[in-house]
Structure 1
Amino acid sequence: MSSPIRAPAISACRSLQPIAKPTANSSPAHGLSAFCGAGSLDYPTANLSTTWINSVSASHSVSFSDNSTIRAILLRGTFGPRYACGFFCNGTCDTYLFAVFIVQTNSGGGITMPSIGFPQVVWSANRNNPVKINATLELTADGNLVLRDADGTLAWSTNTGKMSVRGLNMTESGNLVLFDSKNSVVWQSFDHPTDVLVPGQILVSGKNLTASSSPTNWTDAGLFSLSMTTTGLVASIQSNPPQVYYENSLSGTKQNTELSYAKFRNGSLDLYLNSVEPTDPDLSIPIPDAKSAQFIKFGSDGHLRVVEWGQPWKEVADLLTGFLGVCNYPMVCGTYGVCSNGQCSCPRSGTNEVYFSPRNSRRPDLGCLEVKPLGTSCNNVSENHGFVDLEDVNYFEFVTDISNTNMDTCKEACLKNCSCRAAIFRYGSNPSGGDCYLPSRVFSLMNNNRALTNLNSSVSLKVQINAPPAVSAPPTVSTPPAVGTVPPTTDSKGNKKSSVGAILGSIVGVLFISVVIGSAFFVYRKRRKPDEVEEDYLDHVPGMPTRFSYEQLEAATENFNKKLGEGGFGSVFQGLLKDGTKIAVKTLDGVGHIKKSFLAEVESIGSIHHVNLVRLIGFCADKSHRLLVYEYVVNGSLEKWIYTGRQEKCLDWKTRRKIVLDIAKGLAYLHEDCRQKIIHLDIKPQNILLDENFNAKLADFGLSKLIDRDQSQVMTTMRGTPGYLAPEWLSAVITEKVDVYSFGVVVLEIACGRKIFEQSKPEEERHLLSAFKKKAEEGQWLDLVENFHCEDVQSNVEELVEMMKIGAWCVQNDYTKRPAMSMVMKVLEGGKDVDKDIDYSNFLTPPRYVMNDISGIDSEDATRLLPSVLSGPR
C-alpha cells in the first residue's frame, strides 16, 4: 500500500475531475500543475468523499486512433505501459465501462497516444451494464464505491458502506483496492475477474473468467467460461448442462483447508490443487518470460492467449491450443460446422436433400443454419424427424448418456428426447457395445482421427424431414343465388334482359347479405373480445416495454433451441436480439391462470426499474402466444449457489451477506418506493437471480399483487410455494409482510447452507424452521450451519449469528412483529440492531398446511411447485 494516502485537490484546469473537497492531507503534487500535465503524474490513490464525472472535458482524457477513449481516474507509475483505472469506451463511444486498463505513459508522466499499442482493458466493473457520458463514480463518505449512469440510475457498487473503508488504491500489479485504516484489503478487483488475468493475480476455485461475446462487443459476457476447480482448470461453453472442451486436472484429495487456485507468475500459470505456496505447484502451464507488460486474456473464441506489449500488443502464446489442436474449440466452425484441418464446411446428408446451409458463404467459420428449423414437438417424431448421418466425425466433448449400446438404440433415444439435437456414438472394436451421448445443443464438429482417439465415432444430427401437418383450407363451394334475387332473363336472341323486379330483388339480396355478415362479425368480435381487450390494455400501460412478435422471438432464440429451465407454466429459453442483447424468454403454456399471471408480471414490473429487479425488456401477446422477455442473468438462480454439497461453487461470506442485502433492497423498493405497493408473493431461491458480479435480482412476478398506498391489507387466494408461505395465508388476508416471511426463510437457508426441507435428515431436523427453533432456544446457533468446510464462515461467526437472528426476526408467526424491509436494510448496513425481544418459543413453527405439502418432497428438490406458481427465468 502507498503511504501517505492522498486525494486529488480541486482545480479549474479543463473542468477537472475528480471533484473533491480539499483536505488537510491533500498533497501539492495533486494540485493544478500536476493535473495540467506538468511534473509527475503518478496519482494512485483517492480519499473518501470523492466524485469523478465521465465528462468530455475531464482531465486525463485521451482518444486513440482505434476509436477508443480513456478518462483516467487513478494512474500508477510513469514511463512505459502502466496500470490505470477510469472510464473506457471503444468504437462509437456511446457507452463506457469503469475499468482497469494498461496505458502507455511518457517520461514526463503524461498519458501518450501511440500510433500503435492501444489501451488494453484488464478488468471492468460494469461490462453488462455500461454507462453514458456524464455518468459519475463516487467514493462515498462511508466507503462505498458507486457507479451511477447519467440519469442517476445505479449501475454498479462494491457494497462496502459501513465497512471501515479509508481510501481507494491502484496497486503496482493492477489491483484496484479499497482499504481500511490498517491498510488491510476490504474489497479488491482481483476477487472479481472478468476475462483477464495479470501477473500476480490468482483465480481461486469457484471463480471464473467469462469471455466477451465477440471481439468487438466488449460490453457483454459471451458463451465461454474458464473456471478453476478443486481438480484443475476447466474451459466450457454455455449449454444445458455446460459442455467442457478443455480440462487440465489432477486427481487427489486436498490436504488443507484453503481453496485450490491458479496463479499467473512470470513464466508460468501455476495450479495449486493439493498444495499451497510456498511449495511447488501441482501443475504448471509454461508461458514465455515477460519482456514487458503482459496479461492472459480469455477470448470470445474460447482461446486462452498471452498478450504482451511490444509496440504493438502481440500474442506470444496460446495456452490451450497445444493441448487441443485447431479443431477442438467449440465454435471454431460455428454451430453445426464441421472442422477438417482448420477448414470449415456444412454437414451433407449423402442425398440430394440439403438440411444445412452456411450462415455466410464468404465466412464458413460462422457456422451453419438448419434449412428446415427443427420443431420442438415430440408428436409423430418418426414421421417428422430424421437424421443426417456423419461417419468418422467426432465432437469436442463426450458424456456417456447410454452405455453398452448400439447406434440404432442411440438414435432412437434421441428421437424420443425433445431436447436432443444429435446422437453421438463411439465404440472401440464392438459396435454393439458402444457409448451414446445426446447433447441438447450442437456446436462445432470435427473429423475423427482414429489414430489419435483409438475410437470409432459417428454423429447423427436430428433434422426436420417433414413439416408438421397443416390445417387444410375448407373446400370451395359455389354460392347459390341469394334469397330474393331474380335470375336474369334473356330475349329471343339469348341476350340478358333487365327488369325492375330483378333490380329490386338484387338490392334486397345485398341488404340481406350485409345484415348476415354484420351479425356474424359482431358475434365473432364478441367471442374474441377478452383477448382483444387484453392486448389493447397492454398497449396502453404507461412505460410499457417493447412488444415483440412471436416470429421475432422465434428467430432470437433460434427456434427456442437453448432451454435454461422450466417452471410451473412454461419454459425459459436463452436468446440474442439483433442489437446483441442477450435475453431470457419465458414462454407461458396453457390457459386459465396464464392470462392473470402474464398481466400481473407485465403490469407490475413493465414500467419500474431497479438494480435488484430483473429487467423486463419486452413481451409478446400474439394470438395464443404469451411470452415475457427478460435481461439474461448469467449466474442463474440462487439455489445453485447456496446449498452445501450441491452448489456450483462456495460463496464466501461477504458475497452471501451482499446477496441478502440485495434481496432486501429489491423488496424494500417494491413495498415502499413504487407508485403502488407491489407484493411479490413468491420469494424463494429459485426466483432470485445472480449476475456476473453476484448482484442479486428478484425475478418472476407472475403471482404478484398490486395494492394501493391507502390499503393496509388485501384479500386474495393462496398463492406461492410450500415452505415459504406465511401463516396468515390461512385467513387469505395478507400484507407485504408475507414477503418478509419468505425473505426470512431464504436468509436462514443462505446462512445455514441447507434447504427448507430435507427428507434425508432425522425427522426432527427435516424442516429447517423446526430444527432452528430448537437450536435457537438452546443458543446453539451454529449446529445447523453446514458450510464450514468450504467458506470463511469460521472467521465470521458473529456476523453469521446476526444473520440468523435477522432471519428469525422475519419469520415470526405474528406478522405485526416482523420488520419492514427498509428496517432490515438498515440492520444489514449497520445502522440499527436486530430486535432483541424475539420470543423463540412462539414462532418458527411451520404451519400444518406447509408440513403436509412438503413432507413428500424428494431431498434433491428445493420445493414442490404449486400449480399456481410461475417460476421465473433461471
Structure 2
Amino acid sequence: MGFFRPGNSSNYYIGIWYNKTIVTIETVVWVANRDTPISDSFTSKLKIVDGNLVLLNESNSLIWSTNMNSTATAASATLLDDGNLVLRYGSGSSLPIWQSFDHPTHTFLPGMKLGYDKRTNTSQVLTSWRSVEDPGVGLFSLEIDQNERQYLVKWNRSVDYWSTGSWNDRDKLFELAPEVRKNHIYNISYVDNENESYFTYSLYNRSIISRFIIDVSGQIKQLTWSDSSGQWNMFWSLPQDLCRIYGGCGEFGVCSQSLSPSCSCLIAFKPRSKNDWNLRSFSSGCVRKTEVNCSITIDKPAFILSYVEESFLSTFPENEAQQLDESSCSYSCLHDCSCNAYTFISNVCHHWNHENMKNISLGFVSNDSYLDTSKFHIKVASKDIPHLIENSGKKNKDANLGAVVGSIAVVVFVLCVILFMIRRRKTMILVGKTTMEGSLMAFVYRDLQIATKNFTDKLGGGSFGSVFKGVLHDSTVVAVKKLESVSQGEKEFRSEVGTLGIIQHVNLVRLCGFCAQGKNRLLVYDYMPNGSLNSRLFNEKEYYPLSWKARYQIALGIARGLVYLHERCRDRIIHCDLKPENILLDADFCPKIADFGLAKLMGRDFSRVLTTMRGTRGYLAPEWLSGVPVTAKADVFSYGMILFELVHGKRNSEQSEDFTFKFFPSLAANVLMVGGDILSLLDSRLNREANLEQVTKILKVAYWCIQDEEDSRPSMSEVERILEGVLDVSMPPVPQYVKYFDDDMEDFLFFKPSSGIQFS
C-alpha cells in the first residue's frame, strides 16, 4: 500500500496493489482518494488523526478520511494478506471499526462481501475507473438487486443494461450468466440473513491469484494471473457483446462488433479525449469537428444519418414531439439553432437538443451489425461531410476551364486505348456485374466459373459441397465452395450470408464473397495455402509431419475460434460439423475453422447430410444420433475427437493390417488412467519429441470433452484457459461408450447407457 501514479498521469493516489515480485504488472485493487488526487507524494501524508485514517495533501488540507465518529486515543491500521485494509481501536486483536473491503472501488477480491446492508439500507457498489489512467468514479457500476438475488450492471448508476439473472442456489450459478458459477478455481456463495444479503467467493488454491473487476469498458471480468506468461488472463467477461453496453462508446460514438476496436466516431465527429481512446477507453465519447453555427449562411449545416438501438430510445423528449411529416421535421430542425438532431418514428417528429441527448447518452451502432435499429439524423457542419466538400478549384473554374478540357481529352484517349486492348484479349476475366454488398463481394456465377476454370481445380469436399481453387481478376487466390442441397430462397440466403460476413476472428476462415444467382449458391473464402488439417495430419507420405509444438498451437487456435463462435460473436453459432477437414492452415500453420454457420444455410437437409456423409460420423456427439436437442457441447465433443487425432496422427477408428478394428480413445485410456508411458501414444513420426506435460494435458482435456453427458463436458472457454495454463485439469472419468468399445467390432458404435440403444 502506498502512493501510486497510474500510467502517464501526473496525479498521485493512495492505493493497494499486488506484490510486484509476484504480480509483475502493477495492478491496483483499491484506491482511497480516487476523485481527489494529489500532485506531490513527498510532502503529502497518510496518518491516523483522532481515530481516523486520513490523507493530507502538500498544503496539509484534508483530502480523504475514513470518517468514523470516534474519540479513541489509540488506533492502528493494518494491511492484511487478503488485501483488506483494516482500522482498529485499542489492541490489535479488536474487531475492525473500518475496513476497505466494506468500501470497494472497482475490484471484488476473494473473501470480500458484495451485497446489501439491511441495517443501513446501503449497497456495496463496484464502480469502474474513468480511464486506465484515472481511477476516479467512472460511468459503469455493479450492484446487487437483493429482491431478485442478482447483480445489475448500470450506466451512470441509473440505466440497467445487463443482468446476471437470479442466483440458482442448487446449481450454484446465475441464470443469465452461467460463466459466473462455482468451478474448480473458486467457490461462489450467497448469504441472506436478517442483517445483510451478499455474494462472496473463495479460492480453492491459495497460490492462484484471481480478481473480479468492472472494467472501464463497462464489462465485468474475472482475471487470473499466469506466472508463465507474466500477464493477466481473462477467465470470462460479460456482457460479451461490447455493443450491448449502454454508452460504451460514449456520446456520438459508433459501435460495431465486427471491428477492432469496436468503437469509432460518427462522420464529422472526433474523440473527445484522444488520449483516452488511444488507451481503449471510449466512454468519454466524441464531439463535432466543427461546431454548427446557425448564423453563417455560407456553410449551412447538414444532416448525417446514423442508427441507434431502439432500446436506447426508450425515453423520448416528449416536449419536443411534433406531428409533422418527415421533410417538415428535417426542415424545422435545420432552421432551429437549439436542435441537435431529429428522429422520425411512428410518424412523430422528435427534436433533440444538447441536454436531452446528453441525458440518455445515446450510443450509435453500425448498421452492418444490427438490423433492429432506428434512423437518427444528426446536425453537423456541412464542410465536415466528405461528399459535400466542394472541389477546391471550383471557384476558379473559368480560369482553369481550358486545362480541365485538355485533361479530359487526354483521359478519354487513354481510356479508349485501354478498352481497345481489353477487347482484344481472348478471355475476359470479369464478365459479369460483380458488386459489393455490405462488406462482401456479390459475384455473378459466370465470374466464378472463369475464376475457377469452370470448377476444375478441386481442393476437397465435405458435408456442404465441393471446394475449388480460383483466381480473381486482381490475381487474388480464393477458395470457392459450391453448396449443395440449399433449401433457402435468395433473400433469406443473402441475409444469412451477410451475417456470416461480419464474423471475423484470427482462427476463423474469412468469408469474402458469395453468389446467389438462380439455383446457384456459392461462397468465396480466403485461400489457405497449407490446406486442411486432415491432409497434413493423416498423410503418411508427408515428409515433414506437423511438430508437437505446431499441433499444440493448432489445438489452442481451434479452441479460441470455437470460443468466439459459441460465446463472443453476436449471433452465437454451433458449428455442427467440426472435423479435421474443416480446419484449414494458413501460410504460418495458424488454424482457421471453416464452414461455420453453414448448418443454418442448409436448413432441414442438414441432419440428413451429417448422418450420410462419409468421414463425419466419427466426430458426432451421441446426442446427434439419439434425437435430443443439440447445443454447443456437440462441438466440444467433436473437438475432443480431434485432440486424440492430433496426438496419435491417425484416425481414431482404424482397421489394422491383421483386419482388427482399433479405437484409439479406448487404447489411450488404458495408458492414461494407469499412469503408463504417455509418449508411446504419440504419432510415431515424431520420435517421442514432445512435451510430456502438454501431451498428458491434451489427452485429459480430450476425455473431458467426449463425456457421455453434455453437462459433464467443459465449455470451450474453459478448454482455452486449460491449454493456456490458466486452469488445471483433473483426471477425467472414462466415458461409458469408450469402456464398452470392443476391439473385435467391425464398426464404430455409439453406446448410450441410459437408453440401452446402440447407434451405428
TM category, shorter: 0.3 to 0.5
TM-score scaled by length of structure 1:
0.34
